[in-house]
Structures are given as structure tokens and as C-alpha cells.
A and B are shown apart, each in its own frame.
Chain A
Amino acid sequence: MAEVVNQTSRELTPGAKKWLLIMLITVSAPQLMYVPLWLAVTGGCLLSWVWLTLERHRYVIPRWGKGVVVIAVILGVLVFSSQSKGLDGLSSLLIAGALLKSMELKKQRDGWVLVLVACFIAAVGFLFNQSMPSAVYGGVSLLTIVCALLMMHQGSTQAWLFLPVKKSLFMLLQSIPLMLILFLIFPRIGPLWSVQYQQSTAKTGLSDRMQPGDISRLTRSASVAFRVSFTDNKPPAPEQRYWRVMTFADFDGQGWSIADVTKQDMQGDVSDDDLIEYQVIAEPSASTWLFALDYPLASSASAVQRYSDGTFKARAAVSQRISYTASSLLIKPYDGHPLVNRPRYLAVPAAGNPQTRKMVRQWQQKGFSAEEKIAALFKNFNQHFTYTLSPQKLQGNRIDQFLFDTREGFCEHFANATAYTLRLAGIPSRVVGGYLGGEWNDYEEYLLIRQYEAHAWVEAWLDGKGWIRLDPTTAVAPERVIQPFDQLFSSSPEFMADSSMMAFRLQQNLAWLKTLSLRYDALNYNWHRWILGYHQQQNNLLQDWFGQISLLKMLLLLFIPVGCMLMIVFWWLLKVQSRWMHPVDKEVVAISDLLAKVSVELKRASGETVQMYSVRLAETLPEIRAELDAWSGLYQRLRYADASAQAEDTSLQYHRLSQQLMSKIKRLGKQGVIGKGVKQPDVEKQIETRVW
């Protein structure tokens, strides 16, 4: 039972070594895609080898072999981390270090090094992936870390697989309240120094230049562009869900490019009943474009800048999910300012598209007003054009070809042709890129906008009215505006070509699957909003809950619940466990409880030894005297004799006899034998003779 050991240089038990390896594998597995392949393979081989040497004591790695591996891995990792920027290098370095250390697992100190490195790797892992599943996995990683630590400090005789898991789980659960409160109230300060975040986010979403075909390419993707929740929890009507991202003012005959726009102050002083306030959570896009409901007025976020064309841009490329609040008006009254830089919004290449020019000339000859010209164009679209995701390819005079030949296209084709034609007709115009639509999630009350809902429309300047939104798509396909996009195009082969169509079709057909996916997205939304973006919510949340934030309040919030929780844990540790029974005692309690049902006096008194109890029982129940004597004798042997004397069959015999006794007592109880002439236990005497 006891072993003399030198506590400062304790050897690791095989169980502890196994758990350290399990911990290492669990913690580093999610990072395998960020470390070089050779390191992952080497690591796998090394760990399986170390495990083998633990299982059977052969196959020990020779000293020179270890040397070669160490040198090779160190060189490789140094080369890799000098080439890679940011975190990939760090994580490879950590994992390589831990792997090499795993070959030299002897003393407790070695185990500690591994455990501490594993803690750090677990945290670094969240810089790569912050999804909900990865958070759950992170919890599992922490559990293995605690298990390994526990195994390092417990005796070799105890079970190594499940017992430590249970104990570690308890310890982690007991730690969670404190952790939650710390998470809630720990002040989130900005970065202490600038760090280079990994820029691996691929550019997604709209691009800075719009050519026909660009937006229809986006319809191949079902990935989320952004989510919006509204202050009054009511989304605008489907036909008003125009999400403005960017405006294109310059046309070079091929495509449209971004206007040089100037920064502008937020229009924050507007107080209007029609003002819509909302919060946007934008997915990382690696560009600075942000999303706002048309027409955006102001955003409170410091990272957001408003521009003169009414768009929002982030001050730095969006490489992480960001959230910002903004306010918009659905109908913007003309503020009376004249158009700045009018020629720019009329500029078109000098030549090309003769048929279109001819058409515009005809309008002018007829003396059409601006509104009439627009109406004529839209009527033409409505009567002769088709809205399709896969139009024929255009060449040469593309707008002529589109307007007079193919007569089919996607929103970008219509926007392109409309803006060009209006400019020819002397109406200042620009193309607006953004999104149209969004799926309302009822569970968490937010609007989900996917990439395939990308849209392009036109704004025209009408004197006395200002910029007016013109969406030629509504003329050709009014259903695009009202109907969800996925229903409209689900049969088109281009639609969502990059996403799993099978899964999507299934979702469309099975209502419950659709519900499930909505629920999951709602969960995800909350996850992003409340956990990953907590540093943006903290102030508001704490003020909502506790009013004005003060240091005293925060300290009280920390210490009162944590104190209570720690007291409970402490009580549990000292009290509940004291109810722990010797396995042999369980039967005694069972028999006593059984008898107590018949007569309270037959319950075992506190401080009454089993021997005295059985003697007392035998006096009232002479029918089972023999069994009781044998039973208490076995009990004495099992409970108080040396471990060596406790043979397996003694304990088996004891349990069998206990069962017999209980069934006999039940039978006697039914016959009504028990309960007459019960003798009270003589407590005085028992305390004196109690066996210590």
C-alpha cells in the first residue's frame, strides 16, 4: 500500500504516460491542417511508436535514432516557420516541441512540460477555428489535459481509463461557474500590440469591378454573406430588402468600376419614425466592403466609415467576423443638394453600340422626359426580355447584342444596359452592387443573406428628386424581388453549383430538415453574436443587466456567486464523500432499511455495530438467528480482517447471504411475524462498547 518515493523526481506511471500521449494527440489533431504534412506524418509515427514501447517493453527507440529525429524535426520546423507568416509557424513549433518531448517521457517534470505546452496549443487552436464544433472539441481537449495531470499525480494502482475522466469532468464542471463569470466581466481591452493575423481568408462576395457574369458567378455559392437583426425584430418587406454595398460610376465599355468616393460624416441627427435600426454581423470577406440597408444613414461602430455615395466601408479588411449597428431609411427624401460631378455620371465611351444610340436618339426626337425614357426602357424589358442565370455569351457591341439580339440575362446585364442607356439619354446614373433579399430566421429573429442573393441595380439622378433607385430586374422578373431566390432558381444548373445541391434539394423537400437547418443557423448566429463577438456586446449587456457599471458592482458580481459556488464545492468535497460506504456496508444499510419499513425499532441505531445489531435482530427474529450469526461473522471478517484474508469467495458468500436474508425478511414481513415484541436498542451500552 505504501511505497517510498522521492517526491521531487517522481517517475511517471505507464497510465500517466498513456494519458499524456492521448492528450497530445487530442490537442494537436485539429491543427494538423496548419502544420506541414511531413510533421504530421512524423508525429503520427513517433506517437504510435512511443505507445508501442509502453504497451510492451520492446522496440525501444535507440539513442542515435532519437538524435536523428530531433535534429531533423528541429531543422524542418525552423525552415517552415521562417517561411510562414503568423500563427502557422508558432503552432508547428509548439507541436514539434511537444512531439520531441514525448520521446523522453520519464519524470514528472517531463509530463509537466507536455501539459503546459498542450494548454497553450489548445488556446492557439482557437485562433484558427472558432466554430461551435471546434469549441466543443476544445472542451474535450481540456478534459484530456486535466486527465493527464490527474494521472500524473495519482498512484499506479488506480484504474487509468475511466476513473480519471470522471474525476476530471467533475473538477471541470465545478470550475465552470467561475469561468463564466470571469468571461462575462473581464474587461475586454484592445490589442496590446499589433499582431499579424493570418490572411488566409479568400476574397468572397462582390468584387471592385463589375462585368456581366460576375454576379451570376456568386449564385454558385450558398455561403453566408451576413446576418442582420433588427431593433424592433421586424424585417422590412421583401421588396425593400436592398442591401447596399458599393456603387460603380465609371464605365469603360466593358465593365463598371468603383467610384472614387469621399468620406462623409454619419447622418446621425436624423430622427424619424421610419428609421430602421439594425445590427449586421458580416462574415470575413478579406475586403473592406460592408453591408447596409438601402438607404444607410449612420453607423455607430468606430470601425465603420461612411462614404459620399451612401455606402459603408470598414477601416481595415474584414478578416474576422465583425458586427456593427447601423440605421437606414427605406425612402430617403431629397435633401436639395445638387449633384456633384455631374459629367462623371454621364460619361460613356465615345463610340460603340450604334443600335442603342439610335434608340436613345429616337426617344430624344420624340421629346421624352427622363421618366418617360425610363418607362420606355422598362416596358421594353418587361415585354421582350427573359431573366436567366445562363444567358448566351455576348461579344463585340455587348449592350446592342443584349438589347436587340439575345434579350436574356441576369440582373447585372440589365443594370449594365440600363445605366449605359440612361447615360446616353442624358440622365446621370450609376450601378449599385449589393444583395437583394434574405431569409428570415424565426427562431432567433434575424435575416440571413447568402452570397447567391447578390444583386445589381441602377440609381438615376432626377432633378428635383435626387438619386432614385431603378431596378430593371423588377421589370423583367418581378418574382425575383418577392420570391426567395433559392425557390426561383433551384432548377437552374448554375445555381449553387459550388455547394452541395443534393443536401440543398433535400432541404427544400423535407420541411423538418429545413427547420433543422434554420435552427442550426440560429444557434450559429447566437454563437457568433454572443460568444465570438462578446467583446462588442459586453458593455451593453452588462449595462442592461446591472445598470451603470462600477468596479464595486463587478467585484461583487465576481465574489458573491463564486464564493457561493466554491462553498458548495467545498461542502461537497468534505461532506458528500464522507457518505462513501465500504462496499460491505451497503448491504447492512439495505437490510436495515428493509426492516425499518416494517418497524422503526428494527432500524440499525447510529453507533450500533453490526455484531450488536445482528444479536438484537436475532432476539426479535429467532427464525433467522443462524443466518444472522453467519452473516455478521462474514461481515466482521470482510470489514476488519487484513486485506490478505479477504478472499474473493468470502465476499461472494457474504453477498449471497445478504440476499438470502433480505428475501427471508420480506417473507417474514408478509407473514406479519416481524414487528411484535420489538426490543429497543440500548444505546448507552452500545456507545461504551463500540469497537474502534
Chain B
Amino acid sequence: MADRRSLRGRIQAWLVNRYPGQAVIRLTQKRIYILPTLAGSAYLLVVLLILLLAVNYQNNLAYAVCFTLLSLFITAILHTYANLSGLESRALLTEPVFVGDEAYFRYQLNTDRGLFQLGLGFDKAQCMTLDLVANRPANVEIPSLCSQRGWQQADLLYIGSLYPLGLFRAWSWLRFEQSVLVYPKPVAGGEIEALRGAEQHKHAVGARGDDEFQELKSYYPGATKSSIAWKVYAKGHGLQVKEHQGYAGNELWLDWDSWPELSVEARLSRLCYWALVFSQSGSRFGLRLPGKQIAPATGVEHKKNVLTQLALYGGGPEDGRSG
């Protein structure tokens, strides 16, 4: 078992070396492999049995059956090969995901002939099957579980087909220049100093009502719904966004040093959680990582920026204990 796995690993490694990653891959004879399936081998065995029957009974029609089946076997090679040949696959952009989620790697398939029953997947056994109509590109999404943060390269993509007779499997392993950004897994927990401070500050000053002392800014894309000043909008003054004065004075910082007791990955997970919480509530927040700092801001771009920094911290994931 171990041997088989290592063999498979070696084959994969060989494939990776053989084909440079590309954005568009067209399947040609350099890339298509074709071998009889198990059922195809059983079929050959039956052909052999029929041959024995023909020889022993000197029956020329049994010979004819035997040779017809054998010729069909040969013809099936061409048909199976043709069902994969000329397929053009293109890697599309893939949305970032969190560790533990499935990333949907997206591909566009196009062909100038109808192709049938193509199986696609990162795992040969668990494929998605589709028929392709000529000159009508089809987009497919193939899920892949992400277990590590950072840039994750797409696995070799298996693309194969048994069509038309299942006697042969034609397949190819595609290596695309394609990767997905995996954010740390958000894990709830801990408290944010500044948040607590702000709360205390509010209690101390006390007199000011929250609503009155907000600064209104004109709407910018990415502002959360809850931050929109709906009352102002209802008065006909256009879309305005409430900037929480209370936080503005005491800016929120997600700080690497907030939880020294945690390991690197745990810290990143917690920071990620809070980053999501703040983005959700539309708060202005900044990020402080060792050697890196992102100034407080709001919006989708900012969130992406922060999460990307978290994902790529330390050039990739490290062992939890060493942190």
C-alpha cells in the first residue's frame, strides 16, 4: 500500500516536472494517455475464449465474431482518444477561501467537436461528468479542500473519459498556473484592548449621545448597510455613511502582540476572526504584524488586504509549537 502511494507520488512528481504550469492547455497526443480499463481487459479475455472456441470447433463464424470484437477493441482506442483530443481548458480566477473550506477552482472548457462524458476532478475516483457541445464553452467549478493558509497551488487536474465503450480510459493530468489564496481559519475568542478601552471611554465621557456625534461622510462602495445613515437618506440628503466618532478617536488595532500566549497559527486565526467581525460592523481598524502595519480603514478592499496579510504571514504557515 505504502509502495503504491509512493509510486503514485512519484508519478505525480514526474508529471509536475514534465509539464510546466500553463494558463491554457490544449490536449494533444503529447498529453493524452490511454490504457484499457479493467473491463476492457475482461473483454479481451472473452475474445480469447471465443478464439479458443473457434479453433477447437473449427468454426469460421466464431472466428468472425472473435475478430469483429477484437477490431472493435482497436477502433475503440481511436474513438476514446478522439473524445479527449483537442479539448482546450483554461484556468479562471479562483475566489479566496478560509482554511477548512473548499476552494472552487474554475475552468473553462472549449472544443470544436462535441465531447461526451468527460470526467474532471482532482481525484480520479470522484469526478464530475459533463458533455461538451462544440464551440460552446462551458465553465466548471471543481472543489478542493484547503488545509493550509497562504497561496495554494491547484492540484494536477485529472481529465478523462471512458466514452464511447468503456474499453479504454483516455486521460490527462493538467497542471495549471493557478492558485488560490487561503486565509487563516477564523476562530472566535479573546478580547480587543481598544474595544474595551473605547467602552470605558464612553462610560467616562457619558454625556454625549452616540447618534449626534457621528461624522457623516458621503457613501463609498464597500460601506456596510448598517453604517449607512438611513434617516439622513430618508430626508433626501443622499447616501451618507456614519463614521463612529467614538472609535475614530481611539482607533481599533488588531495587534499581533495582543495574545502572546497563543501559537502563530492560533493568533492568526483569532486576528482573522476579529478582522471579519470589524468588517461586518463597518468599523475602522488597522493591523499590526511584526514588521508590517496596515493603517486603519474600512471597506471590502481593506478587508481583503488585511486577510491577505494574515494569510501570507511569515511567508506561509509554520509549525504551531515553534511560534
Contacts and interface: CB of A to CB of B under 8 A. Distances in A.
B65 A122 contact: yes
B130 interface: yes
A82 interface: no
B140 A153 contact: no
Interface residues of A, number: 67
A155 B79 contact: no
Nearest to B124: A7
Given A5-B127, A112-B39, A138 B65 contact: yes
A138 B54 CA distance: 15
B75 A569 contact: yes
Interface string B136-156: 101010000000000000000
A124 B66 CA distance: 11
B323 to A, nearest CB: 38
A183 interface: yes
Contact of A577 (B113, B133, B162): B113
B50 A123 contact: yes
Interface string A165-191: 001000110111111001100101111
Contacts of A192: 52, 55-56
A1 B164 CA distance: 18
Contacts of A188: 55, 58, 63
Contact of A154 (B54, B78, B164): B164
A665 B289 CA distance: 72
Contacts of A578: 86, 112-113, 134
Interface in A119-159: 119-120, 122-124, 126-127, 130, 135, 138, 142, 146, 149-150, 152-155, 157-158
Contacts of B129: 2-5, 7, 155
Contacts, number: 190
Contact of A580 (B55, B62, B82, B114): B114
A531 interface: yes
B82 A573 contact: yes
B68 A535 contact: no
B166 A142 contact: no
Interface in B270-298: none
B22 to A, nearest CB: 17
Contacts of B136: 582
A171 B85 CA distance: 18
B216 interface: no
Given A7-B127, A127-B53, A146 B165 contact: yes
A127 B57 contact: yes
A193 B52 CA distance: 10
A358 B307 CA distance: 134
B67 A189 contact: no
A566 B74 CA distance: 9
Contacts of A116: 42-43, 46
Interface string A19-60: 000000000000000000000000000000000000000000
Contacts of B128: 2-5
A534 interface: yes
Contacts of B131: 1, 155, 157-158
B50 to A, nearest CB: 4
A178 B162 CA distance: 23
A578 B62 CA distance: 37
Contacts of B66: 123
Nearest to A131: B61
B59 A153 contact: no
A154 to B, nearest CB: 6
B125 A8 contact: yes
A520 interface: no
A176 B74 CA distance: 11
A566 B79 CA distance: 11
A195 B55 CA distance: 11
A574 B85 contact: yes
Contacts of B70: 178-179, 182
B108 to A, nearest CB: 11
A146 B65 CA distance: 13
Contact of B78 (A1, A195, A573): A573
Nearest to B138: A1
Interface string A295-329: 00000000000000000000000001000000000
B61 A135 contact: yes
Given A171-B75, A192-B56, A569-B75, A153 B86 contact: no
A661 interface: no
A122 B49 CA distance: 12
B164 A171 contact: yes
A150 B127 contact: no
In the A-B complex, the 9 residue pairs with the smallest Cβ-Cβ separation, listed nearest first, are A175-B71, A126-B61, A573-B82, A2-B130, A178-B71, A182-B67, A179-B71, A123-B50, A123-B65
Interface of A: 1-8, 108, 112, 115-116, 119-120, 122-124, 126-127, 130, 135, 138, 142, 146, 149-150, 152-155, 157-158, 167, 171-172, 174-179, 182-183, 186, 188-193, 195, 197, 320, 531-535, 566, 569-570, 573-574, 577-578, 580, 582
Given A126-B62, A171-B79, A176-B68, 12 more contacts: A4-B128, A4-B129, A5-B129, A7-B162, A119-B50, A124-B62, A127-B53, A127-B59, A171-B165, A172-B72, A178-B70, A578-B86
26 contacts: A2-B128, A3-B130, A7-B126, A112-B42, A116-B46, A123-B50, A123-B66, A138-B61, A138-B65, A146-B165, A154-B117, A155-B116, A155-B117, A155-B131, A171-B76, A172-B68, A179-B64, A183-B67, A186-B67, A188-B63, A189-B55, A531-B61, A532-B61, A533-B60, A570-B78, A580-B113
